[in-house]
Amino acid sequence: MKPKNHIFNHPTLQTLQQKCNNLNNLKQIHAQIVTTGLSLQTYCLSHLINISSKFNLTYAFTIFNHIPNPSIFLYNTLISSLVNQNNENKIHLAFSLYNKILTHKNLQPNSFTFPSLFKACCSNPSWFQYGLLLHTHVLKFLKPPFDLFVQGSLLNFYAKYGKLCLCRYLFDQIDQPDLATWNIILGAYANSFDDNVFPLEALCLFCDMQVAKVTANEVTIVALVSACSSLGALSHGFWVHCFVLRNKVMVNRFVGTALVDMYSKCGCLNLACQVFDRMFERDRDTFCYNAMIAGFAIHGYGNRAVELYRKMKSKGLVPDDATFVVTMFACSHAGLVEEGLEIFKSMKEVHGVEPKLEHYGCLIDLLGRAGRLKEAENWLQDMPMKPNAVIWRSLLGAARLHGNLDMGEVALRKLIELEPETSGNYVLLSNMYASVARWNDVKRVRMLMKHHGVNKLPGFSLVEINGAMHEFLTGDKTHPFSKEIYLKITEINRRLQEYGHNARTSEVLFDVEEEDKEGVLSYHSERLAIAFALIASPSSFAIRIIKNLRVCGDCHAFTKLISAVYGRDIIVRDRNRFHHFKDGSCSCLDYW
């Protein structure tokens, strides 16, 4: 039965449209709108266009094109509807509509036009340049102070592409940021992995947020926990977790997964397991299992990672691309070659998932670490896609580990083609030559670096003492306690020599005099951090180090011996994994 005209008002129309589940129903409503005269009202038309764009885009544009002189409100409605469908072709149409606004003599964009378009620019890196142009249009068409939604969309756009300095500048222009705006800037800082200063700044910003009396929510907590993960800042992570419990913030699947990830990356695998086990079953989704499997992987517990992978499947959860990556990574770092091969083959045979570059990378790393270099090379040659730099670097690392110079040279040539500016590639091969005293070849690699304008990435290490993060560079003398640290290094070297430690000077650069090489090793960044921790922290506390590069062989042997001589547990997170040193041995069993 058709509704009478006098009750066919805006709320009724909105309700009918919300219940619309196909195009035929929508056409019936459209007919009612036309016969009742509501087709002349912008409000009704905006609802009609919004819903019809989801069912049939051609129909939506037909309605729009039959409207005489559509207002900027209707343009904004259709642009927003197109962008929210997150489809490349529809984003193109949204920008075509925006161009019509710009060329219309009686219209210009307003504060409701730009947020949708900036959201579109975040969908694909190829749209980044259009976002920059939109920013100029904001300055051209809108008068400051800008609407908070415009400011938030600008902030989110630059955050998406890691432009943190611009993000901070824009954020500081906002008089009273709301919760969503605070979350955007916190997330931008927390997820920046290029500079340790940025995640630390996220924690400082949160203090400002509390002063501003803005109540945190789950999104805020995820950003803060992510910042602690990046820094390896365990005490800060504890504090955030306590904040969650104290303020009764809901521990949903996102917060729970972030806490699992944080405790894993801060070296507290037992706490990560506790959080995981206490989560509701409904919250332990694929992402949560991935975080826990990754935790086992980076700590070297390959068997536990594989066991959890199998348990996840038994629960009916479907593994995704990341699941296969972290589980194969776990196998690679624990020498579980057959298990890793089985998982790789099951991707297509059992789960119908076509392996991607990252999965082939894990496979080649798995075989290479185990010394099965020929198999690794065969898989690389038979890949259905072109190998990327990560895969060639895995092969180079395996060649260095097992002394296959010919394979290392081939891998380096490919890497120089793909990323000539990356210093780590040259250093790997240089170390291979140095290990067998081929100094002319070492010199040749260094000349290649010079030719390409490449400088070796400086090593740095972070150590947390009483909640404060202390950073050390190799050979660093800028720390306020440098004098005491270097005296401690001298004491450590003397005590380790008494226990029979001989420095592996073959790993030092060729252009250092032989008698100076042991001194160079002594001042690697993690040794300075460990020396400071021995001075500044109680003897009952574990020492936790975060290092940006792979631990060198001599520092690994050095740290094992310190754990025995000084009776300290030392946990080192390098670029790839964790090393737990205790009583003279390491959890990696020298397989890293």
**What integer is the mean pLDDT of 46-62?**
83
Asked if the model's pLDDT at residue 13 lies above 70, the reply is no
Report the range of poorest mean pLDDT among 7-16, 432-441, 531-540, 551-560.
Answer: 7-16
Mean pLDDT of all residues in 140-151:
91
What pLDDT score does 7 carry?
42
Q: How far apart are CA 415 and CA 427, in angstroms?
A: 12
What's residue 513's pLDDT?
A: 35
Examine the pLDDT at 517 and tell me if it is beyond 60: no
In the structure encoding, which two tokens stand for residue 112, read together? 């409701």
How far apart CA 275 and CA 264 sit, in angstroms, is 11
Contact at 8 Å (CB) between 504 and 557? yes
* Number of other residues whose CB lies within 10 A of the CB of residue 564: 15
Give the CA distances from residue 283 to residues 21, 250, 277, 384, 553, in Å, rounded to whole numbers and listed in that order: 30, 12, 11, 37, 41
For residue 159, the model assigns a pLDDT of: 94
Residue count (the chain): 592
Task: Find the mean pLDDT for residues 443-455.
Answer: 84
What type of residue is 458? P
- Judge whether residue 32 has pLDDT over 80: no
Cis status of the peptide bond prior to 115, with omega within 30 of 0: no
Helix 357-369 and helix 389-401, axial crossing angle in degrees, nearest 10: 0
Give residue-wise pLDDT tens across range 479-492. Answer: 999 999 999 999 99
- Find all residues with CB under 8 Å of 442, minimum gap 6, and list them: 430, 433, 434, 510
> Residue 515 has what pLDDT?
34
Mention every residue, 6+ apart, whose C-beta is less than 8 A from residue 139: none
Mean pLDDT for 357-363 is 94
The model's pLDDT over 245-261, given as tens digits with 9 standing for 90+, comes to: 999 888 899 999 999 99
Q: Over the stretch 15-28, which tens digit does the pLDDT of each residue have?
A: 555 666 777 777 77
Total Cβ atoms within 10 A of residue 119: 20
The pLDDT value recorded for residue 49 is 84
- In this prediction, residue 337 has a pLDDT band, given cuts at 50, 70 and 90, of very high
The mean per-residue pLDDT over the stretch 482-510 comes to 79
Per-residue pLDDT averaged across 114-135, rounded?
94
| The predicted structure's pLDDT at residue 15 | 56
CA distance 122 to 502: 54
> Which one-letter amino acid corresponds to residue 84?
N
Give the CA count within 13 Å in the CB-facing half-sphere of 563.
Answer: 22
Q: How confident is the model at residue 341 (pLDDT cuts 50, 70, 90)?
A: very high
Q: Output the pLDDT for position 433.
A: 83
Contact 99, 79 (CB under 8 A): no
**Which uninterrupted H or E stretch holds 470?**
strand 468-473
Domain positions in the chain are 460-586
Q: Which three-class secondary structure state does DSSP give residue 251?
A: coil
How would residue 55 be classed by pLDDT, with cut points 50, 70 and 90?
confident
421 against 223, higher pLDDT:
223
- Residue 276 amino acid letter: F
Q: In this predicted structure, what is the pLDDT of residue 72? A: 95
pLDDT tier, 40 (very low <50, low <70, confident <90, very high otherwise):
low
Q: What is the pLDDT of residue 332?
A: 93
The rounded mean pLDDT for the chain is 87
Residue 507 has pLDDT above 60, yes or no: no
